[in-house]
Structure 1
Amino acid sequence: MRIPALTATVALITSLTLSLAGGAAADPAGRHADGGRFDRPYTGFAPAGTVLRPGTPGDAGLDAAPIDAFERRMAGWEDPAAGTGYLFPGATTLMAHDGVVVERGAGGYAVKYADAADELPPDQWVPARTDTIYDLASLSKLFTSIVAMQQLEAGRIDLGTPVAHYIPEFATGGKGDITVEQLLTHTSGFDADPVPSLWQGYSDVPAREKAVLDAVPINPPGSTYLYSDLNMLSMQLVLEKVTGKPLDALVRDGITTPLHMTDTGYNPPADKLPRIAATEYQTSPARGMVRGQVHDENSWALGGVAGHAGVFSTVDDLAVLAQTILNGGTYKGHRILGGNSVRLMEQNFNQAFPGDSHGLGFELDQIWYMGGLSGPQTLGHTGYTGTSLVIDPQSRSFVILLSNRVHPTRTTPSTNPPRRAIGVAMSQAMRVAAPGGGPLWYSGQGGATTSTLTTGPLTATAPVDVDFSAFVNSESTDPLVVEDSTDGGATWHALPLTATGPGAPAGTPTSLSGQAVRAWWHVHTQVPQPSGALQLRWRYTTDPVYEGRGITLAHLSLTSLHHPLPASPTPAGAWHLLPPPRD
């Protein structure tokens, strides 16, 4: 059974108040009066005094229904009876907006299996809890990146400087021109993983570190985006060289201690084992059921402390880190980064590689796991064990999913559906309101779905002008289309659309799709000279892969020779009429 969301359980509220906010409420100063509005994005950082606190979706100006629906879907993903819908033994989630933690839940089991095939006796199963500690896998790269930003601020490293300047032996194998920036943006030219694996090919830690230094790129530096663990393994060696300290000490002293992230770090102590989720039953290397040690074999071979993997944490601790980023690098009076460093993490350094947007350390604008929160500034990362973190500065929101999807084996379905779903739920919980008010037509729908709004037959002997307002948040390949038919709906023809909106003067040709702009557009098209019984429809079709928040329409207007025509369309699919939101 999934532990209920925060809003339903007093015990969880008490727990979260103590663990996240220290009993203090956040200062709401600086929040605009439209908190909870997805169509009025924030600019700049949240007030530095924003402190996380528990609350209901209503407290944050949100609609609880999408959040509740997400909780129900999570229960299915954690249930073996769901068949192919079963994704992970256990998971813990957290959602926050404007400093209010509006969802915090857990379900399934942190420990369930004895080996790769056999379950433990049921009385030995360990339920997942809201304070379960998970192996973050590649979310660890964010901690390495934050340490790198701290050393950038301290003047110990420079983005444009070759790594070999700090570690001369790194220049071997044609790596003399690889820069710090290229390590942080995965454009160094490295292959995805060390070959051979560090745990297989080398006898001790010094030999494994030398193997990282000796790695030979497979592409020229700066020519290709290729996500690679070798980038952060190399970054670790740079950071340790310029500071004289090991990475775990840098993370502890520079991040987790000042932010009081007491459940976050490498190689968790034995007294925390009862709260740690198990991961994989490994036979090669012969580690058995891994619990309390890092899952990643290369990190394990380096003693559990590595630039690419090794950090363990909880949703509560990660929530503090996420709010710190939203606050511009500070939390409860403790600053771990300057505002300029946070802006660099939000800046896309990979414009030469469309689709692979990347700040310094953080991925940007990845709808495949960010869902409806994706956008040019949205930061995040995923982890192989089934973890994800998405931070959306434009709505001052973040969502966290931690799971042990590799328990007991890594041959499990993708966890991307729940990763996207938690982002979609948060985005749909935030309101939009039509310019000037009025009811809304809304279609938020799953993949491989078509929804239509279709007028009845229209009598017109002169050109028909079609005008409406649209708020669009969809995958770029999932456009809203306006079509006409003069044969009773047997055939439909797409009409060219022009739009007026942010950065677009009146009459700009447009395709109504994408997530780059969170603003309303005024859209116009025209049926030049109708023949027969004219019908119009608004059609929104999603492909089977990703979805954003959805499409919202308002102020549907049809006129011919300045005379209004009836515009009361019939919905099919997911379209439904919403009342004007209350302020």
Structure 2
Amino acid sequence: MRLRTLVPAALGSLALAGSLVTAGPAGRAAADDFSKPDRGFAPPNTVLSDASPASVGLGPAPIAEAVAQIHGHEQVDPSGHPLFAGAVGIMGHEGRIVERDASGWALRYADATTELPRDQWEPMRTDTIFDLASVSKLFTSIAVVQLIEEGRVSLESPVAAYLPEFAANGKESVTVRQLLTHTSGFTSWLPLWSKWPDKASRIKAVMDRPLTNAPGSTYLYSDLNLITLGVMVEKLRGEPLDAVVHDRITAPLGIKDTGYNPTDKARTAATEYQTAPPRGMVRGEVHDENAWSLGGVAGHAGVFSTVDDLAVLSQALLNGGAYRGERILSRKSVEALITNFNEAFPGDSHGLGFELDQRWYMDALSGPRTAGHTGYTGTSIVIDFTSRSFAILLTNRVHPSRNWGSINLARREWAHGLAAAMAIRPRHGDTAWFTGGENATTTTLTTPALPVGPRGGRLGFDLFLDTEETDLLHLERSTDGGATWTGLPFDVVDRGTTETADGVVSGSGTRRWVQVRADLPAGSQQLRWRHTTDGGYLGRGVAVDDVVVQGPGGVLLDGEKTPDAFTADGWRLSGRDAVA
């Protein structure tokens, strides 16, 4: 939580307000996972199966809306083209696949500007194979963590201890952890494919490259970090990276459509029409030019996969590293994957290879224990360990041109659909007030005039909050019938820790109710909760419950008994028996 007078270290952040629904039938997950304490990993014997959203307590409407939004992006927009030609998405929750959707086209264009004849368009299928681009980095990272687990690599040891040639030009102190967390000091990228003539010289160029920043001083996302780790894995394993990924990750998990240089090119989604290098329409070969110049197998890019294969990988991690009796990582290693090693770089939370808590594509699923990655070709994977959920969206957004723009909005919409399908329970009674997430809006919840006596009064309520830091919840009071409002300072009490705010709060992360208390001066006054969102990213919004105003003479307002006393503009009263 971000309090406007301070940033409380003890509280961290508050998250995820949501709709309010009835608990699911016995033996099924209720749709209140955002208000449950983190239960840790799923049972290791959890195996994915299909189920309807409602059967696991999820609200179907937000998921259906997310599907419709993805389909909408495949229509020609004012730019004269769709945001992307096609997409395949999958959502999982508590070991169940609750949505799997394919739409649009795996192949639509002949070149960067020309559509193929309509009868030559090829539709997306749920088993379409996609170039994952930088999502490939997760496979390399898992391969590295397997070496750490075996004791063959130490996280804090210099990379040069395992790859002596990497020490060139001042890199002898760069650690394995710094490569995995993009704090090595490396530059972001080099044009390996065009500046060096062959694979050996390209790898040497990475090994020889001096640092741009001092190790550990800066967060800078870099392909070179993972290229280096891929080379290290190959050297320590004594076999190519594609063989390592197959033998130690995909084969044990039983996923058969994931790997490098796919042989079934007809099932792949086309990517870009490239003129430099002159590759034409790229399909079934890695899009990334550097990975292509390295033979299609590199630590930073090159993996192809399907949504169902990535769902299995996600569930294996949610299970603590195991699936169908096969273990690819220990529970301790999975914890390391999703532990933030970048606390020194706020906003750039990073585990070992996995990005953490990145609202710009994770949207309302984001939190300290939400891990994932994106890929340049239009791919994203979001794994939320707190709710045991995942949202995977694969598109061919570079087909036919990388210049058609970002698909981050679609990534957020897909993640938001799953997050919004989950709900919270009221802290007290059967109902609570909730304001959902819409960009660029202001919503208010206002009390009637309250006759606070000369000795003052006391406001108390329960708060559940998930907003980005620039989407603010204001607590305000008015003594002139609502003509003017001033901020009301308040205390937030969370499991025995108290922090003070000057009337404004924002943030996310802890996914639990907290208590709020405020002193009220004497005099007749109204109180209101005002939630303002900007035009950027969204969380789940705000929930308020059990509002009580007391004076020396007794209770002046009991929100549980008299919810009709409030005036709501954009807020809604949601209960256990409704999905808002």
Same-fold status (TM-score > 0.5): yes
Q: Does 1:134 align with 2:126?
A: no
Give the alignment of 1:477-556 within 5 angstroms.
Answer: 477-502=470-495, 504-505=497-498, 512-530=505-523, 534-556=525-547
Residues 291 and 58 of structure 1: CA distance in aligned 2, closer, same or farther (over 3 Å): same
Query: For this pair of structures, how many residues does the alignment match?
Result: 548
The SS at the match of 1:257 is: helix
TM-score by length of 1: 0.90
Q: Does 1:179 align with 2:175?
A: yes
Deviations 1:162-193 (A, max 9, x none): 11111222111111111111111111100100
Shift of 1:454: 1.9
Shift of 1:152: 1.1
* Residues in 1 aligned to 2:399 and 2:383: alpha-carbon distance in whole angstroms: 27
Shift of 1:556: 2.1
Aligned residue for 1:3?
Answer: none
Aligned residue for 1:253?
Answer: 247
Letter in 1 for 2:220: L
Letter in 1 for 2:242: D
Shift of 1:572: 1.5
Shift of 1:38: 1.4
Aligned residue for 1:456?
Answer: 448
Shift of 1:83: 5.4
Residues 32 and 425, structure 2, Cα contact 8 Å, conserved in 1: no
* Residues in 1 aligned to 2:457 and 2:430: alpha-carbon distance in whole angstroms: 23
Residues 441 and 279 of structure 1: CA distance in aligned 2, closer, same or farther (over 3 Å): same
Shift of 1:41: 3.3
Give the alignment of 1:23-422 within 5 angstroms.
Answer: 34=30, 36-81=32-77, 86-194=82-190, 197-269=191-263, 272-422=264-414
Alignment RMSD: 2.1
**Aligned equivalent of 2:464, options 466, 471, 478:** 471
* Residues in 1 aligned to 2:103 and 2:86: alpha-carbon distance in whole angstroms: 6
* Residues in 2 aligned to 1:474 and 1:179: alpha-carbon distance in whole angstroms: 35
The SS at the match of 1:401 is: strand
Letter in 1 for 2:63: I
The SS at the match of 2:392 is: strand
The SS at the match of 1:38 is: helix
Shift of 1:510: 8.2
Greater alpha carbon shift after TM alignment, 160-169 vs 129-138 = 160-169
Residues 41 and 110 of structure 1: CA distance in aligned 2, closer, same or farther (over 3 Å): farther
Shift of 1:437: 2.7
Aligned residue for 2:8?
Answer: none
Residues 265 and 311, structure 1, Cα contact 8 Å, conserved in 2: yes
* Residues in 1 aligned to 2:317 and 2:78: alpha-carbon distance in whole angstroms: 37
Shift of 1:199: 0.7
Residues 296 and 309, structure 1, Cα contact 8 Å, conserved in 2: yes
Residues 475 and 503, structure 2, Cα contact 8 Å, conserved in 1: no
Greater alpha carbon shift after TM alignment, 333-342 vs 476-485 = 476-485
Q: Show structure 2 runs of 5+ residues with no match.
A: 1-23, 560-564
Residues 35 and 345 of structure 1: CA distance in aligned 2, closer, same or farther (over 3 Å): same
TM-score by length of 2: 0.91
Shift of 1:474: 1.1
Shift of 1:42: 2.9
Deviations 1:411-450 (A, max 9, x none): 1222111211222221221121122332121111222211
* Residues in 2 aligned to 1:362 and 1:31: alpha-carbon distance in whole angstroms: 32
The SS at the match of 1:80 is: coil
Aligned residue for 2:21?
Answer: none
Residues 438 and 554, structure 1, Cα contact 8 Å, conserved in 2: no
Deviations 1:87-142 (A, max 9, x none): 21111111111001111111111111100111001111111121111110000000
Residues 94 and 104, structure 1, Cα contact 8 Å, conserved in 2: yes
Residues 515 and 382 of structure 1: CA distance in aligned 2, closer, same or farther (over 3 Å): same
Shift of 1:525: 1.7
Q: Show structure 1 runs of 5+ residues with no match.
A: 1-27
Deviations 1:437-479 (A, max 9, x none): 3212111122221111123344444434222111111112323
Residues 499 and 507, structure 1, Cα contact 8 Å, conserved in 2: yes
Deviations 1:355-381 (A, max 9, x none): 111111101111111111111111110
Residues 30 and 56, structure 2, Cα contact 8 Å, conserved in 1: no
Residues 506 and 234 of structure 1: CA distance in aligned 2, closer, same or farther (over 3 Å): closer
* Residues in 1 aligned to 2:182 and 2:271: alpha-carbon distance in whole angstroms: 27
The SS at the match of 2:464 is: strand
Deviations 1:20-44 (A, max 9, x none): xxxxxxxx9x988646431003322
* Residues in 1 aligned to 2:496 and 2:164: alpha-carbon distance in whole angstroms: 48
Residues 489 and 501, structure 2, Cα contact 8 Å, conserved in 1: no
